[in-house]
Amino acid sequence: MEDCDAVEVLICGAGAAGLTLAIDLARRGVSFRLIDRLAEPFAGSRGKGIQPRTLEVFEDLDVVDRIAAASGPYPPQRRHHVGGGHDEAQSFAITPPTADEPYRTPLLVPQFRTEAILRERLAELGQAPAYGRELRDFTQDAEGVTAQVAGPDGVATIRCRYLVGGDGGRSFVRRALQVGFPGRTLGVRAIVADIVLEGLTRDAWHRFDDGDMARQVAFCPLPHSRLFQLQAPIPPEGEPDLSVRGLQAFVDARIAGSGLVVREVAWASAYSMNARLADRYRVGRVLLMGDAAHIHPPTGGQGLNTSVQDAYNLGWKLGAVLAGAPDALLDSYEAERRPIAADMLGLATDLLEKAKQGDMRRGRDVHQMDLAYPSSLLSLDLTGRAAGVRAGDRAPDVPLQGAGGQPRRLFDLMRGPHWTLVGRGADAALPPPRAGLHSHRIGPGDAFRDVGDRLATAYGMADGDLLLIRPDGYVGAVLPAAQAARLEAYLAACLPA
Ligand SMILES: Cc1cc2nc3c(=O)[nH]c(=O)nc-3n(C[C@H](O)[C@H](O)[C@H](O)COP(=O)(O)OP(=O)(O)OC[C@H]3O[C@@H](n4cnc5c(N)ncnc54)[C@H](O)[C@@H]3O)c2cc1C
């Protein structure tokens, strides 16, 4: 085709989902283009809660320490009473790391910082989003997708083997595919604004209401900045004035005599809350991820996290199929991720109802650590056991010891775009080496040792057992020694020959 750029994957939307997918594809050597119609990166704090499971993903993508440095702990919720005084409560129990869960407490990082760190990582991999590029049209055929992208020099044609729509709640890609987005409008409209504010301390997430949650105003201090994130419900009709003067008047009207002074507005927006789920995540060579596939209220801090994890589930599958693995592997993306989003919509909507009653406490269910794919076709569990870690579960970390005596972790062996096969003891029958698979026999005389039988305990592994961990950190297969021969057929379905 003439005058046509060709890449393996075109990613539409450089939000958290698009950036995560781009990093994963870049480290796999997949050629892609990442476009966004914005002229420059998104500047708002919106999704500011990074959950423990996403921190594990970020460890694998080599950004977790930068995210932690940019973060702060969740401040306590301070509820101010009318006429003075307040009460205070932690919204999360702060729980220390354990050997199998190195991240246990959500971190507070404004979305613009998270995305900046992801762009930084992408730059290290030699790539960058192309801003000011809008996907306007696309058609697909048996071999690929032809996309029309409007940019500063006019409309360009990009030919790709797969198109991924990570283009947000109003997704052009989803609408162009005519994929339904059923659900409901929740009847809650709110403003969110990043402001410089005088009159509040930065040691708490301040909430003001006069007994009426519909008149609540909350100010969350954003770490390592002068900003507070203001969130407040507003009436369904009318355009709010989001200027300094407009927000000052809003604050004065909601909190009589507070003396709070709005000095600057760095970013502001008004939005209506919806809970909606795309009917399909894949139509031929086009896939949907992130808010393009699911939207829900911000309560519980699930949206950005679910979007990152969609991309992380999709990245290795796209990489494998592009390298020659069966195309059916891509069907497992919708089969695994759509039920997770359906559950998350229920969770976020329940938490919205609780927030309306003033209950801001959050439990382990928002951490996303217990998400699993037990009924996925990719989960092969031949142990016959009903308890303990099973195929489809998140792979817990385990402390190991290198043969030289150095401390090592199972997560160290998993880090990177490959699959990880662990065989316990000298009887474990490891297959011959192959691209994309790292195999380790763990036991005396091997490169790694299971000091204190932690691997055996965490995974319930007996001598000779094999444990296969997917590139996205979920257990793919657990094979007792006697069934090790089943491994080859499993690998053939997921890895290029
Ligand atoms: C007030 C608020 C608080 C929130 N708090 C949390 C929280 O604590 N934790 C959490 O996990 N989530 C939270 N969220 C949700 C979170 O912000 C979103 O889920 C997240 O941004 C989704 O990421 P995404 O990459 O899928 O989409 P987006 O971030 O929406 O990115 C989509 C991108 O696609 C681009 N685009 C659109 N159309 C086109 C086109 N045709 N061509 C090219 N580019 C296009 C857009 O410009 C945009 O940059 C919150 C949201 C709100 C509103």
Are 400 and 449 in contact, with CB atoms under 8 Å apart? yes
Q: Which amino acid type is present at position 47?
A: G
Residue 496 CB neighbours (<10 A): 16
- Confidence at residue 421, expressed as pLDDT on a 0 to 100 scale: 97
Residue closest via CA to ligand 1's atom 19 equals: 303
Q: Is residue 237 over pLDDT 60?
A: yes
Task: Please provide the average confidence, as pLDDT, over all residues in the chain.
Answer: 93
What are the tens digits of pLDDT across the range 376-429?
Answer: 999 999 988 777 799 999 999 999 999 999 999 999 999 999 999 999 987 888
Q: Above pLDDT 70, what percent of the chain? A: 98
Residue closest via CA to ligand 1's atom 14 equals: 47
Nearest to 393 by CA among 411, 375, 413, 419: 375
Given the CA of residue 167, which atom of ligand 1 is nearest to it? Answer: 34
- Confidence at residue 196, expressed as pLDDT on a 0 to 100 scale: 98
Q: Is residue 348 over pLDDT 90?
A: no
Q: Which helix (H) or strand (E) is 195 found in, with range?
A: strand 183-198
- Confidence at residue 362, expressed as pLDDT on a 0 to 100 scale: 72
Left if phi > 0, otherwise alpha if psi is -120 to 50, otherwise beta: which for 245?
A: alpha
Given the CA of residue 36, which atom of ligand 1 is nearest to it? Answer: 44
Q: Using 50, 70 and 90 to split pLDDT, how confident is the model at 99?
A: very high
- Confidence at residue 481, expressed as pLDDT on a 0 to 100 scale: 85
Residue closest via CA to ligand 1's atom 1 equals: 46
Given the CA of residue 149, which atom of ligand 1 is nearest to it? Answer: 42
Cα angle at 51 between 18 and 234, to 5 degrees? 80
CA distance 428 to 468: 12
CA distance 214 to 235: 9
Nearest to 55 by CA among 411, 297, 360, 457: 411
Q: Using 50, 70 and 90 to split pLDDT, how confident is the model at 345?
A: confident
Alpha carbon distance, N-terminus to C-terminus of the chain? 30
- When pLDDT is averaged across residues 36-50 and rounded to a whole number, the result is 96
Q: Structure tokens of 308?
A: 């990152």
CA distance 245 to 171: 33
Backbone Cα Rg of the chain: 24
Going along the chain from its start, the domains and CATH numbers come out as 4-72+109-183+277-366 (3.50.50.60), 380-494 (3.40.30.120)
**Lowest mean pLDDT: which of 80-94, 157-171, 270-284, 457-471?**
80-94
- Confidence at residue 135, expressed as pLDDT on a 0 to 100 scale: 98
- Confidence at residue 3, expressed as pLDDT on a 0 to 100 scale: 61
**What is the 41 CA–ligand 1 centroid distance (Å)?**
12
Chain centroid to CA 336: how far?
14
Residue 54's contacts (CB-CB under 8 Å, 6 or more residues apart) are 304, 305, 308, 309, 368
CA distance 112 to 218: 20
What residues flank ligand 1, with Cβ below 6 Å? Answer: 12-18, 35-38, 42, 46-49, 111, 134-135, 166-168, 172, 192, 231, 271, 290-291, 298, 301-305, 307
**What is the 400 CA–ligand 1 centroid distance (Å)?**
38
- Confidence at residue 246, expressed as pLDDT on a 0 to 100 scale: 98
What are the tens digits of pLDDT across the range 180-202?
Answer: 999 999 888 999 999 999 999 99
Concatenated DSSP letters of 53-87 = HHHHHHHHTT-HHHHHHH-EEPPPEEEEPTTS-EE
Where is mean pLDDT largest: 394-403, 428-437, 444-453, 484-493? 394-403
What are the tens digits of pLDDT across the range 281-305?
Answer: 999 999 999 999 999 988 777 899 9
Nearest to 164 by CA among 182, 140, 142, 180: 140
